[in-house]
Amino acid sequence: MCIINLKLDCPVVYVLSDSIGETGELVVKAAASQFSSANIDIRRVPYLNSPRDVEDALEEAAGCRAAVAYTLVRPDLRTVLEAKAAQHKLVCVDIMGPILEAITSVTHLNPSFEPGLIRRLDEAYFNKVEAIEFAVQYDDGKQPRGLTKANLVIIGVSRTSKTPLSMYLAHQGLKVANVPLMPEVTPPEELYGLAPHTVVGLTLNLSLLHEIRKERLKTLGLSETVDYANPERIAGELDYAAGIMRKIGCLVIDVSSKAVEETAATILNYYRKGAGR
Protein backbone atom coordinates (compact mmCIF):
# COMPACT_ATOMS: atom_id res chain seq x y z
CA MET A 1 0.00 0.00 0.00
CA CYS A 2 1.35 3.42 -0.96
CA ILE A 3 0.85 6.37 1.40
CA ILE A 4 1.78 9.72 -0.09
CA ASN A 5 2.71 12.75 2.05
CA LEU A 6 3.85 11.77 5.52
CA LYS A 7 4.28 14.36 8.29
CA LEU A 8 4.33 14.08 12.05
CA ASP A 9 2.59 15.78 14.98
CA CYS A 10 -0.24 17.50 13.09
CA PRO A 11 -3.89 16.77 12.23
CA VAL A 12 -4.19 14.01 9.62
CA VAL A 13 -6.63 13.46 6.77
CA TYR A 14 -6.46 10.19 4.86
CA VAL A 15 -7.57 10.29 1.22
CA LEU A 16 -8.60 6.82 0.05
CA SER A 17 -9.17 5.91 -3.59
CA ASP A 18 -9.57 2.89 -5.85
CA SER A 19 -7.79 4.92 -8.53
CA ILE A 20 -4.91 7.39 -8.23
CA GLY A 21 -6.63 9.62 -5.66
CA GLU A 22 -5.76 12.98 -7.17
CA THR A 23 -9.36 14.22 -7.15
CA GLY A 24 -9.83 13.51 -3.45
CA GLU A 25 -6.50 15.04 -2.52
CA LEU A 26 -7.28 18.20 -4.50
CA VAL A 27 -10.62 18.61 -2.72
CA VAL A 28 -9.03 18.09 0.70
CA LYS A 29 -6.25 20.56 -0.09
CA ALA A 30 -8.81 23.13 -1.18
CA ALA A 31 -10.67 22.67 2.12
CA ALA A 32 -7.45 22.69 4.17
CA SER A 33 -6.46 26.03 2.61
CA GLN A 34 -9.37 27.59 4.54
CA PHE A 35 -7.57 26.79 7.80
CA SER A 36 -4.52 28.99 7.40
CA SER A 37 -3.29 28.40 10.96
CA ALA A 38 -3.47 24.60 10.74
CA ASN A 39 -0.70 22.40 9.39
CA ILE A 40 -2.69 19.45 8.05
CA ASP A 41 -1.03 16.22 7.00
CA ILE A 42 -2.81 14.82 3.93
CA ARG A 43 -2.02 11.16 3.28
CA ARG A 44 -3.16 9.78 -0.03
CA VAL A 45 -3.70 6.01 -0.26
CA PRO A 46 -4.35 5.11 -3.93
CA TYR A 47 -5.25 1.93 -5.78
CA LEU A 48 -7.33 0.23 -3.10
CA ASN A 49 -8.39 -2.87 -4.99
CA SER A 50 -9.82 -5.15 -2.30
CA PRO A 51 -11.78 -5.01 0.95
CA ARG A 52 -8.57 -5.93 2.77
CA ASP A 53 -6.80 -2.89 1.31
CA VAL A 54 -9.60 -0.65 2.59
CA GLU A 55 -9.56 -2.22 6.04
CA ASP A 56 -5.78 -1.81 6.35
CA ALA A 57 -5.98 1.86 5.35
CA LEU A 58 -8.72 2.51 7.90
CA GLU A 59 -6.71 0.74 10.62
CA GLU A 60 -3.87 3.16 9.97
CA ALA A 61 -6.23 6.14 9.90
CA ALA A 62 -7.74 5.03 13.24
CA GLY A 63 -4.24 4.73 14.70
CA CYS A 64 -3.66 8.45 14.31
CA ARG A 65 -7.26 9.56 14.83
CA ALA A 66 -7.44 10.88 11.31
CA ALA A 67 -10.35 12.14 9.31
CA VAL A 68 -11.02 10.17 6.12
CA ALA A 69 -12.06 11.43 2.69
CA TYR A 70 -12.68 8.92 -0.04
CA THR A 71 -13.40 8.73 -3.75
CA LEU A 72 -14.18 5.05 -4.03
CA VAL A 73 -16.50 4.25 -6.90
CA ARG A 74 -16.78 0.49 -6.46
CA PRO A 75 -19.90 -0.22 -4.37
CA ASP A 76 -18.35 -3.24 -2.61
CA LEU A 77 -15.41 -1.18 -1.39
CA ARG A 78 -17.67 1.68 -0.31
CA THR A 79 -19.76 -0.75 1.77
CA VAL A 80 -16.67 -2.12 3.51
CA LEU A 81 -15.34 1.36 4.18
CA GLU A 82 -18.57 2.63 5.71
CA ALA A 83 -18.88 -0.40 8.01
CA LYS A 84 -15.24 -0.36 9.09
CA ALA A 85 -15.20 3.41 9.59
CA ALA A 86 -18.25 3.14 11.85
CA GLN A 87 -16.47 0.50 13.95
CA HIS A 88 -13.49 2.82 14.42
CA LYS A 89 -15.74 5.87 14.90
CA LEU A 90 -13.86 7.69 12.17
CA VAL A 91 -15.06 10.96 10.66
CA CYS A 92 -15.55 10.15 6.96
CA VAL A 93 -16.48 12.25 3.94
CA ASP A 94 -17.70 10.63 0.73
CA ILE A 95 -16.48 12.93 -2.05
CA MET A 96 -17.68 10.94 -5.06
CA GLY A 97 -20.95 9.38 -3.85
CA PRO A 98 -23.23 12.46 -3.65
CA ILE A 99 -22.33 13.72 -7.12
CA LEU A 100 -22.82 10.23 -8.59
CA GLU A 101 -26.30 10.15 -7.05
CA ALA A 102 -27.08 13.65 -8.31
CA ILE A 103 -26.08 12.81 -11.88
CA THR A 104 -28.01 9.54 -11.72
CA SER A 105 -31.12 11.43 -10.64
CA VAL A 106 -31.02 13.86 -13.57
CA THR A 107 -29.87 11.44 -16.27
CA HIS A 108 -31.74 8.32 -15.09
CA LEU A 109 -28.59 6.39 -15.99
CA ASN A 110 -26.45 4.15 -13.84
CA PRO A 111 -22.74 4.92 -13.38
CA SER A 112 -20.22 2.33 -14.57
CA PHE A 113 -18.52 2.17 -11.13
CA GLU A 114 -15.18 1.77 -12.90
CA PRO A 115 -12.13 3.41 -11.23
CA GLY A 116 -9.74 5.60 -13.21
CA LEU A 117 -11.98 6.46 -16.16
CA ILE A 118 -11.10 10.15 -16.15
CA ARG A 119 -7.41 9.35 -16.45
CA ARG A 120 -8.11 7.13 -19.42
CA LEU A 121 -10.19 9.87 -21.04
CA ASP A 122 -7.38 12.38 -20.48
CA GLU A 123 -4.86 9.93 -21.93
CA ALA A 124 -7.02 9.42 -25.02
CA TYR A 125 -7.25 13.20 -25.48
CA PHE A 126 -3.50 13.71 -25.34
CA ASN A 127 -2.94 10.74 -27.67
CA LYS A 128 -5.27 12.40 -30.16
CA VAL A 129 -3.41 15.72 -29.93
CA GLU A 130 -0.10 13.93 -30.45
CA ALA A 131 -1.51 12.09 -33.48
CA ILE A 132 -2.77 15.34 -35.04
CA GLU A 133 0.63 16.97 -34.56
CA PHE A 134 2.22 13.91 -36.15
CA ALA A 135 -0.08 14.10 -39.19
CA VAL A 136 0.84 17.76 -39.71
CA GLN A 137 4.56 17.10 -39.29
CA TYR A 138 4.64 14.20 -41.74
CA ASP A 139 2.11 15.45 -44.27
CA ASP A 140 2.80 15.28 -48.01
CA GLY A 141 6.05 13.34 -47.77
CA LYS A 142 7.78 15.64 -45.29
CA GLN A 143 10.65 14.01 -43.39
CA PRO A 144 10.59 10.42 -44.73
CA ARG A 145 12.15 9.12 -41.49
CA GLY A 146 8.74 9.65 -39.91
CA LEU A 147 7.30 6.78 -41.95
CA THR A 148 8.80 4.20 -39.60
CA LYS A 149 7.17 5.95 -36.63
CA ALA A 150 3.69 6.00 -38.17
CA ASN A 151 0.84 3.62 -37.40
CA LEU A 152 -0.36 4.10 -40.98
CA VAL A 153 1.10 5.52 -44.17
CA ILE A 154 -1.20 6.69 -46.95
CA ILE A 155 0.11 6.90 -50.51
CA GLY A 156 -1.38 8.12 -53.77
CA VAL A 157 -1.14 10.72 -56.50
CA SER A 158 -1.98 14.36 -55.88
CA ARG A 159 -5.63 15.21 -54.96
CA THR A 160 -6.69 11.76 -53.79
CA SER A 161 -7.61 13.04 -50.29
CA LYS A 162 -4.45 11.86 -48.53
CA THR A 163 -4.26 14.83 -46.18
CA PRO A 164 -7.96 14.93 -45.16
CA LEU A 165 -7.83 11.20 -44.47
CA SER A 166 -4.64 11.56 -42.44
CA MET A 167 -6.24 14.23 -40.26
CA TYR A 168 -9.47 12.28 -39.86
CA LEU A 169 -7.57 9.17 -38.77
CA ALA A 170 -5.42 11.28 -36.44
CA HIS A 171 -8.62 12.26 -34.64
CA GLN A 172 -9.11 8.54 -34.06
CA GLY A 173 -5.72 8.51 -32.30
CA LEU A 174 -3.61 7.01 -35.10
CA LYS A 175 -0.30 8.49 -36.17
CA VAL A 176 -0.58 8.82 -39.94
CA ALA A 177 1.94 9.98 -42.52
CA ASN A 178 1.20 10.40 -46.20
CA VAL A 179 3.40 10.31 -49.26
CA PRO A 180 2.54 11.72 -52.72
CA LEU A 181 3.48 9.50 -55.65
CA MET A 182 4.74 11.11 -58.83
CA PRO A 183 6.94 9.67 -61.61
CA GLU A 184 9.62 12.35 -61.24
CA VAL A 185 10.24 11.64 -57.55
CA THR A 186 11.54 8.32 -56.25
CA PRO A 187 9.53 7.19 -53.20
CA PRO A 188 11.51 7.09 -49.94
CA GLU A 189 13.25 3.79 -49.27
CA GLU A 190 11.55 3.61 -45.88
CA LEU A 191 8.25 3.01 -47.65
CA TYR A 192 9.31 -0.41 -48.95
CA GLY A 193 10.38 -1.60 -45.52
CA LEU A 194 6.95 -1.12 -43.92
CA ALA A 195 4.54 -3.95 -43.13
CA PRO A 196 1.92 -4.06 -45.92
CA HIS A 197 -0.99 -3.67 -43.48
CA THR A 198 0.43 -0.31 -42.37
CA VAL A 199 0.29 1.14 -45.89
CA VAL A 200 -2.84 2.14 -47.81
CA GLY A 201 -2.90 3.27 -51.42
CA LEU A 202 -5.55 5.65 -52.72
CA THR A 203 -6.65 5.87 -56.34
CA LEU A 204 -9.31 7.83 -58.19
CA ASN A 205 -11.26 7.65 -61.44
CA LEU A 206 -9.24 9.43 -64.15
CA SER A 207 -12.04 11.73 -65.33
CA LEU A 208 -12.94 12.73 -61.78
CA LEU A 209 -9.32 13.39 -60.88
CA HIS A 210 -9.00 15.48 -64.04
CA GLU A 211 -11.95 17.67 -62.95
CA ILE A 212 -10.64 18.00 -59.41
CA ARG A 213 -7.24 19.12 -60.63
CA LYS A 214 -8.75 21.65 -63.04
CA GLU A 215 -10.73 23.15 -60.17
CA ARG A 216 -7.61 23.23 -58.06
CA LEU A 217 -5.78 25.17 -60.73
CA LYS A 218 -8.65 27.64 -60.99
CA THR A 219 -8.49 28.21 -57.25
CA LEU A 220 -4.78 28.96 -57.55
CA GLY A 221 -5.38 31.28 -60.52
CA LEU A 222 -3.45 29.06 -62.90
CA SER A 223 -4.25 27.88 -66.42
CA GLU A 224 -6.10 24.59 -66.83
CA THR A 225 -3.78 23.67 -69.66
CA VAL A 226 -0.73 23.02 -67.49
CA ASP A 227 0.59 19.46 -67.33
CA TYR A 228 -0.86 18.92 -63.86
CA ALA A 229 -4.37 18.68 -65.36
CA ASN A 230 -3.43 16.93 -68.60
CA PRO A 231 -5.47 13.68 -68.88
CA GLU A 232 -2.55 11.77 -70.40
CA ARG A 233 -0.27 12.96 -67.64
CA ILE A 234 -2.83 11.95 -65.00
CA ALA A 235 -3.22 8.48 -66.56
CA GLY A 236 0.56 8.04 -66.42
CA GLU A 237 0.64 9.06 -62.76
CA LEU A 238 -2.14 6.62 -61.85
CA ASP A 239 -0.34 3.77 -63.64
CA TYR A 240 2.93 4.66 -61.91
CA ALA A 241 1.25 4.77 -58.48
CA ALA A 242 -0.52 1.46 -59.11
CA GLY A 243 2.83 -0.19 -59.84
CA ILE A 244 4.28 1.01 -56.52
CA MET A 245 1.21 -0.17 -54.64
CA ARG A 246 1.51 -3.62 -56.21
CA LYS A 247 5.16 -3.76 -55.24
CA ILE A 248 4.36 -2.94 -51.62
CA GLY A 249 1.38 -5.31 -51.55
CA CYS A 250 -0.83 -2.85 -49.70
CA LEU A 251 -4.57 -2.30 -49.70
CA VAL A 252 -5.71 -0.05 -52.56
CA ILE A 253 -8.93 1.93 -52.21
CA ASP A 254 -10.74 3.70 -55.05
CA VAL A 255 -12.06 6.85 -53.38
CA SER A 256 -13.97 8.10 -56.44
CA SER A 257 -17.40 7.70 -54.86
CA LYS A 258 -16.47 7.54 -51.17
CA ALA A 259 -16.73 10.12 -48.42
CA VAL A 260 -13.68 10.59 -46.20
CA GLU A 261 -15.52 8.96 -43.30
CA GLU A 262 -16.34 5.88 -45.38
CA THR A 263 -12.77 5.48 -46.58
CA ALA A 264 -11.46 5.99 -43.04
CA ALA A 265 -13.74 3.24 -41.71
CA THR A 266 -12.40 0.83 -44.34
CA ILE A 267 -8.81 1.76 -43.49
CA LEU A 268 -9.34 1.40 -39.75
CA ASN A 269 -10.89 -2.03 -40.18
CA TYR A 270 -8.01 -3.12 -42.43
CA TYR A 271 -5.36 -1.75 -40.07
CA ARG A 272 -6.86 -3.32 -36.95
CA LYS A 273 -7.12 -6.72 -38.59
CA GLY A 274 -3.49 -6.48 -39.69
CA ALA A 275 -2.32 -5.29 -36.26
CA GLY A 276 -3.94 -8.36 -34.70
CA ARG A 277 -1.94 -10.82 -36.78
Q: Rounded to whole angstroms, what are the CA distances from 66 to 10, 52, 97, 207? A: 10, 19, 20, 77
- Rounded to whole angstroms, the Cα distance separating 235 from 232 reads 5
pLDDT at 43: 94
Does 82 score more than 90 pLDDT? yes
Give Cα 75 distance to the centre of its chain: 28
**Tens of pLDDT along 141-173?**
988 888 999 999 999 999 999 999 999 999 999
Identify whether the C-beta of residue 140 lies closer than 8 Å to the C-beta of residue 181: no
**Tens of pLDDT along 237-257?**
999 999 999 999 999 999 999
Give me the mean pLDDT over the 17-40 stretch: 88
Q: Bigger pLDDT: 126 or 202? A: 202
Three-class SS state of 16: strand
What superfamily does domain 12-115 belong to in CATH? Response regulator (3.40.50.2300)
Three-class SS state of 7: coil
Identify whether the C-beta of residue 223 lies closer than 8 Å to the C-beta of residue 178: no
Range 123-275 classified under CATH 3.40.50: yes
Domains 12-115 and 123-275 share a fold: yes
Give Cβ neighbours of residue 205 (< 8 Å, ≥ 6 apart): 254, 256
pTM listed for this prediction: 0.61
| Spatial CA neighbour of 250 closest among 178, 186, 143, 182 | 178
Strands (E), the chain: 12-16, 41-45, 67-70, 92-94, 152-156, 176-180, 199-203, 251-254
**Tens of pLDDT along 179-228?**
999 999 999 999 999 999 999 999 999 999 999 999 989 888 888 778 99
Domain positions in the chain: 12-115, 123-275
Does 236 score more than 80 pLDDT? yes
**Tens of pLDDT along 48-78?**
999 999 999 999 999 999 999 999 999 999 9
Identify whether the C-beta of residue 235 lies closer than 8 Å to the C-beta of residue 188: no
Percent of the chain with pLDDT over 90: 70
